[in-house]
Chain A
Amino acid sequence: MGGEVENPNPTIYEVTAVSRQNCSTDEDDSIVDPVDALEVFDMIRHIKDPEHPFTLEQLNVAQLGLIQVDNDRHMISISFTPTIPHCSMSTLIGLCIRVKLLRSLPRFYKVDVRVTPGSHASEAAVNKQLNDKERVAAALENSALLQVVERCIADSDFAAAA
Chain B
Amino acid sequence: MSVEMREVACLTGHSAVVWHCAWSPNGQYLATCGADRSVRIWGKEGQNWVCKSTIDSAHQRTVRETCWSPDGRRIATASFDATTSVWDISDRGDVEPIATLEGHENEVKGVSWSRSGYIATCSRDKSVWIWEESEELMRGKAGGELDFDCLAVLTNHTQDVKMVQWHPQENILASCSYDDTIRLWEEDEDEWVCTHTLKSHTSTVWSVTWSPNGSLIASAGDDLSVKLWAPVAQGKVNPRTGKPAARWTNVCTNTGTHERTIYSIDWSGVNGYIATGAGDDAIRIFRATAADRSVTGGDGSEMSLECVHKHEHAHASDVNCVAWNPKHGNILASAGDDDVVRIWELSLPQM
Q: What is the interface of chain A, defined by CB distance below 8 A to chain B?
A: 107-108, 110, 128, 131-135, 137-138, 141
Q: What is the interface of chain B, defined by CB distance below 8 A to chain A?
A: 17, 35, 61-62, 64, 80, 106-107, 109, 124, 160, 162, 178, 203-204, 222, 260-261, 279-280, 316-318, 337-338
Given contacts A107-B337, A107-B338, contact A138 B62 (CB under 8 A): yes
**Inter-chain contact B160/A135, CB cutoff 8 Å:** yes
**Inter-chain contact A138/B317, CB cutoff 8 Å:** no
Q: Which residue of A lies closest to B203 (CB)?
A: A128
C-alpha spacing A128/B160, complex, angstroms:
12
**Inter-chain contact A108/B204, CB cutoff 8 Å:** no
Q: Interface on chain B toward A: helix, strand, loop, or mixed SS?
A: loop
Q: How far in angstroms is the closest Cβ of chain A from B122?
A: 12
Q: List the count of A-B residue pairs having beta carbons below 8 Å apart.
A: 39
Given contacts A107-B338, A141-B62, contact A134 B318 (CB under 8 A): no
B residues in contact with A132, CB < 8 Å:
178, 204, 222
Instruction: Select A134's contact among B106, B109, B260, beta carbons within 8 Å.
Output: B109
A residues in contact with B261, CB < 8 Å:
131, 133
Q: Which residue of A lies closest to B109 (CB)?
A: A134
C-alpha spacing A134/B222, complex, angstroms:
12
A residues in contact with B107, CB < 8 Å:
138
**Inter-chain contact A108/B17, CB cutoff 8 Å:** no
Q: Which residue of A lies closest to B279 (CB)?
A: A110
**Inter-chain contact A107/B316, CB cutoff 8 Å:** yes
C-alpha spacing A140/B106, complex, angstroms:
14
Instruction: Select B17's contact among A110, A131, A137, A138, beta carbons within 8 Å.
Output: A137
Q: How far in angstroms is the closest Cβ of chain B from A109?
A: 9
A residues in contact with B204, CB < 8 Å:
128, 132
C-alpha spacing A137/B160, complex, angstroms:
14
C-alpha spacing A108/B178, complex, angstroms:
25
**Inter-chain contact A141/B80, CB cutoff 8 Å:** yes
C-alpha spacing A86/B140, complex, angstroms:
56
C-alpha spacing A137/B318, complex, angstroms:
14
C-alpha spacing A133/B172, complex, angstroms:
29
C-alpha spacing A137/B16, complex, angstroms:
12
**Inter-chain contact B17/A134, CB cutoff 8 Å:** no
Q: How far in angstroms is the closest Cβ of chain B from A111?
A: 11
**Inter-chain contact A133/B80, CB cutoff 8 Å:** no
Q: How far in angstroms is the closest Cβ of chain B from A59?
A: 30
